[in-house]
Amino acid sequence: MASNKAKIITVTSVKGGTGKSVIALSIAGILKEQELKTVIVDLDLSSGVIAASLNIKPTQDIYSLVDDMMNNRYDQIEKYITSYDENIDILAAPNDPRNTLKIYPQYIDNIIKQLEYKYDIIVIDTNHITSEINLITFDLSTEILYVITDDLMDLKNMKTMLSIYEDMEVDKYKLILNESISRNLTNFEIKTVLGKEIDYTLPKAFREENIQKLIMDGKILTLEKPNNKGTNIIREIVKDIIK
């Protein structure tokens, strides 16, 4: 059990298909490397990517947790956690995507606070929708990591989000450009569209040729490929957050 309040790293995006879930898992791999007790909370509720990527079939998930809270059956958070290994646990998205709409936002704050003194780090994977659940999550986060590509619609949506953060005077976010998804624009062109520098760039080498096999085998890229150039960038991101 963690003696201090956990740092909360939320990985998100403003459009789908940016590689955000792979990056959330990769961050957990680096945290394991540093022997930090980590829980991944899958708030990309309708996809269940985290459990599927790790070949985990949870018997309990975030829906069963919320349902028990609503009906006075809740006892302890550990009942709903699935272990991947000795350092990485999972609070999975609903096994049945039809239950996604039954996860009410007012329970998210309580769930995160239940986890804060049981782990060193909470990694949250979200979807790209500006929902009430995501807004609550962002508010609780130590750092919000936006994963973007050089797709023009992605950049325009991100620019809108940056304007919102500027209006709110919020600066606890970083931009990660995932070059392994695509690379058509230069950094200068991307900066011109966004009006902001990119904080971290994941090179094309981050996407291993055998990434699909790693996923099929339930493996985490940063643990299996510790010398990958992208792994070193993920290591740098984690270092900057937990220093």
What are the domain boundaries of the chain?
A: 7-238
Residue 2 has pLDDT above 70, yes or no: no
Residue 208 has pLDDT above 70, yes or no: no
Q: Name the CA radius of gyration of the chain, rounded.
A: 17
Residue 4 has pLDDT above 60, yes or no: yes
* pTM metric for this prediction: 0.95
Structure tokens at 161: 């989000």
Q: Mean pLDDT for the chain?
A: 93
Given a contact cutoff of 8 angstroms between Cβ atoms, the answer to whether 238 and 36 are in contact is no
CATH code for residues 7-238: 3.40.50.300
- Closest by alpha carbon to 55, among 196, 229, 215? 215
